[in-house]
Amino acid sequence: MKISPSILSANFSNLADDVKRVSIAGADYIHCDIMDGHFVPNMTMGPMIIESVKKSTDVPLDIHFMVENIPFFIDMYKHLKPEFISFHIEEEKHINRVIQKIRNENIRPSVVLNPATPVCLLEYIVADVDMVLLMSVNPGFGGQKFIPSVLDKVKELRNLAEKKNPNLLIEIDGGVNDKNAPLLKKAGADILVAGSFIFKHKDYKEAIKALRCE
């Protein structure tokens, strides 16, 4: 199981230090939540902040857009060369075009589903992406409660992926902790995002180890 700590729950007055500490603790990716105040009722980090995050670590970035006008945001952040860019399908009319725009930058494309968005909408997209991010809270804020129905969605998506894209990565985001991590692993998840569970823990290394369920 790979772990992608969400820096939304880091200490923003000393962000570089938290990014360094979580990198040393064994993070596989650094999850960056980009919110525009329109798609979700919150705003977070512009490209200049992500540039300084990138300078503090060698760990690949995992960018999660919670924004309207997705192509505009891709152009604003693409020079940071993240490993993944994830965008919400609820927001985009031309999903294939946006997937191709991300691939053209040699960035791995990923689509996100909100908790109420069904897996069947991915039937004709799943073969074209490297990852699907399933939200296990409604996006916008850290520290919310895990919605357990996502466990069935992970299983359903794993079944769909076996038929259409066996290499698909499944990432889960929202309310992830040491209690639900083993259930998510069993259901077929590959990458867990965790914000408050890691950054509120006194020992980041211990927190990451607990989430890996090894």
Cβ within 8 Å of residue 210, ≥6 positions away: 178, 181
Buried b (16+ CB within 10 A) or exposed e, 45-79: beeeebeebbebbebbbbbbbbbeebeebbeebbe
CB of 128 to ligand DX5, least distance (A): 23
Our answer to whether residue 152 is catalytic in this structure is no
- φ, ψ for residue 31 (rounded to 5)? -85, 120
180 binds ligand DX5 (CB under 6 A): no
Question: CB of 170 within 8 A of CB of 189?
Answer: yes
Question: Closer to Zn ion at the Cβ: 6 or 98?
Answer: 6
Binding residue for ligand DX5, selected from 86, 92, 174, 181, defined by CB under 6 A: 174
Among residues 54, 64, 108, 153, the one that binds Zn ion under rule CB under 5 A? 64
Q: How many residues bind Zn ion (CB under 5 A)?
A: 3
Interface pick for ligand DX5 out of 18, 28, 33, 83 (rule CB under 6 A): 33
Q: Which is nearest to 175 in space by CA: 148, 202, 212, 204?
A: 148
Q: Which is nearer to Zn ion, 18 or 173 (CB)?
A: 173
Q: In whole angstroms, how close is the CB of 84 to ligand DX5 at the nearest point?
A: 13
Say which residue the tokens 């995050």 belong to: 53
β-bridge pairing 108-113 and 61-66: unpaired
Q: Is 92 in the site for ligand DX5 (CB under 6 A)?
A: no
Q: Which residues bind ligand DX5 (CB under 6 A)?
A: 6, 8-9, 31, 33, 64, 137, 139-140, 142-144, 173-176, 193-197
